[in-house]
Homo-oligomer: A and B are copies of this chain.
Amino acid sequence: MNYRNFDETAAWGRLSALAGDYGKFDYHGILDAGRVERSLTPMAGGLTFSWAAKIVDGTLLKVLGSLAEEQECIAKYRALLEGEIINTGEKRKVLHHLLRSPDGKALTGKPVLLDGKDLGNFYREELTRFSAFVRAVHGAGLKGSTGRAFSHGAQIGIGGSDLGPRALYLALENWARAEGKQKLTAKFISNVDPDDAAGVLDSIPLEETIFILVSKSGTTQETLANELFVRDKLRKAALDPGRHLVAVTSETSPLAHNPAYLDSFYIDDFIGGRYSSSSAVGGLVLSLAFGPEVFAEFLAGAREADRSALEPDILNNAALLDALIGVWERNFLGFPCTAILPYSQALSRFPAHLQQLDMESNGKRVNRDGVPLAYATGPVVFGEPGTNGQHSFYQLLHQGTDIVPLQFIGFTESQRGEDVEVEASSSQTKLLANLAAQIVAFAQGQRPGQRPEARPEARPEAGPGQGPGGNLNKEFPGGRPSGLIYGKRLDPGALGALLAHFENKVMFQGFIWNLNSFDQEGVQLGKVLTKKVLAARASGSANGKADGFDDGSAGDAVLGAYARLLGI
């Protein structure tokens, strides 16, 4: 396989040359009904990717297609699927796609083996084991320590053990209520701030709650502290913690094969935290909440998306096309952020999950070999559901001095089906009318009698001509690109396809940028310095001093100074 930096490709030069022409992209005369109807790429789970309002045309798409070929995106994806060591920093395989395989084989049809162990079968066995466990809970064969059936599940985890599972649970809660599939109510405890656990435990019936402890390493500081917080609470409520806690971890972790838990389910080092929602990390809580069949539909939707990401034609590969356009926006149009704007309240925390998925995967400054890169990589990702965001930060998106590319998501039908007609339209119709309106407003803007251009400074009539209250504050420059992912209704299959789309988009961008999307060395230094602070406090009190920083290095003295400000 040929791994080269993005700026060493022929496409880099061509895109650099083209960039100027698109800097002031004028959608007028380009964005018409025909373009909207033509610029569609099918996705899995009944979804479609609409890219009509992106700053692209035939010329550019050809170059982007050649970039995908130069960086061998599909070949690298196939190698990843088949178990090549793509996570070079940690020398690990990257196998979250294999979690979604119904036959335990890679999408290419090959088994993935490690020292003779079939990893696909291992993942399938764990899925079977935790599904059986879930059925025992639902069948009330497994009850709490006072003999009451479990009505609540509370996940204790942080980062990938929290954001993905939480976002997916919220995404299906209303759907499950409407479909009569809600079996348990799920809650999540993540922050080491003790007020997080205290607040959640206050809101649930302890004797009817099963706690899911999730830590791949079994050493996550926040999660272990919260586990003890929960065990303490359970004991004070005269409940037996051992009959209320189940663990999801790796077989090499201290939590593994531990009688302190009802049961333990396993993942391995080839399932990154932010990619673990398809494993027991997300699967156990989602199956407890909605049933194993619903989780199976979710996996099937993701699997279908994984297959579509193998398509070499970028116009038929939504994840690859989305990735290529994102790189174009980031490196050549110079947009440092991306906003995720789901017009679906069910996806209220989906942007927070994508924020981790994208920023932790591609927020890197060195390539896969550890060599510093001379070009920008992953953007800042943020977002809130529409229409809420319209009444919040959209002002800057429409009229700010920077352009922020937008990713809209919308569904024809609501999840609950409950609605009201006000002024001849339902709330769902209003929601979608707002979505359509925003796409056009961002793209075309509004300048009475004039054609909008992308950048304020490009406007000749700009100048001190306008008097006070001059109407240019009512002018919209337009030229703000957006993509739209839409479908009929947000159900488990569509959600799985949506999640996998973004996982695969981020993967392809990592291939293009030639970096390792699957490690996160950037979280290490903070952990080391945190231990220093805690150790210094301990040694300090041991020596009868306020703290143990006095004898430390300059860096330690600064740590000590901040620790004192904070009163620790």
Pick from B194, B374, B394, B472: contact of A418, CB under 8 Å: B194
Decide if B567 touches A396 in the complex (CB within 8 Å): no
A415 contacts the other chain (CB 8 A) = yes
Decide if B174 touches A199 in the complex (CB within 8 Å): yes
A177 contacts the other chain (CB 8 A) = yes
Identical copies of this chain, number:
2
Q: Which residues of B contact A429 (CB under 8 A)?
A: 534, 537, 568
Decide if B395 touches A567 in the complex (CB within 8 Å): no
Pick from B158, B359, B401, B463: contact of A387, CB under 8 Å: B158
Residue in A397, A398, A401, A415 whose Cβ sees the most chain B Cβ within 10 Å: A401
Pick from B416, B430, B568: contact of A195, CB under 8 Å: B416
Q: Which residues of B contact A519 (CB under 8 A)?
A: 473
Q: Roughly how many angstroms separate A229 CA and B416 CA in the complex, as a whole number?
A: 13
Which of A143-151, A253-261, A291-299, A419-427 forms contacts with chain B?
A419-427
A108 contacts the other chain (CB 8 A) = no
Query: Smallest distance from the beta carbon of A512 to chain B beta carbons, Å?
Result: 14
Residue in A28, A370, A532 whose Cβ sees the most chain B Cβ within 10 Å: A370
When C-beta atoms are compared, the residue in chain B nearest to A563 turns out to be: B436
Decide if A557 touches B32 in the complex (CB within 8 Å): yes
Pick from B372, B399, B423, B425: contact of A456, CB under 8 Å: B372
Pick from B433, B473, B486: contact of A516, CB under 8 Å: B473
When C-beta atoms are compared, the residue in chain B nearest to A387 turns out to be: B192
A162 contacts the other chain (CB 8 A) = yes
A2 contacts the other chain (CB 8 A) = no
Q: Could you jot down 7 A-B contacts, CB within 8 Å?
A: A88-B469, A177-B202, A355-B384, A373-B456, A424-B534, A429-B568, A473-B516
Q: Which residues of B contact A445 (CB under 8 A)?
A: 525
Interface string of A229-249 (1 = CB under 8 A from B): 100100000000000000000
A510 contacts the other chain (CB 8 A) = no
Decide if B466 touches A371 in the complex (CB within 8 Å): yes
Q: Roughly how many angstroms separate A414 CA and B37 CA in the complex, as a whole number?
A: 55
Decide if A37 touches B435 in the complex (CB within 8 Å): no
A555 contacts the other chain (CB 8 A) = yes
Q: Roughly how many angstroms separate A365 CA and B199 CA in the complex, as a whole number?
A: 42
When C-beta atoms are compared, the residue in chain B nearest to A378 turns out to be: B396
A31 contacts the other chain (CB 8 A) = yes
Q: Roughly how many angstroms separate A534 CA and B378 CA in the complex, as a whole number?
A: 38
Which of A54-62, A63-71, A117-125, A218-226 forms contacts with chain B?
A218-226
Residue in A229, A373, A420, A554 whose Cβ sees the most chain B Cβ within 10 Å: A420
A72 contacts the other chain (CB 8 A) = no
Decide if A198 touches B222 in the complex (CB within 8 Å): no
A313 contacts the other chain (CB 8 A) = no
Q: Roughly how many angstroms separate A459 CA and B371 CA in the complex, as a whole number?
A: 11
Please give me the 8 A-B residue pairs with the lowest Cβ-Cβ distance, nearest first: A363-B396, A159-B391, A370-B470, A412-B567, A437-B529, A382-B382, A36-B561, A356-B392
Decide if B416 touches A198 in the complex (CB within 8 Å): yes
A18 contacts the other chain (CB 8 A) = no
Decide if B522 touches A194 in the complex (CB within 8 Å): no
Decide if B561 touches A395 in the complex (CB within 8 Å): no
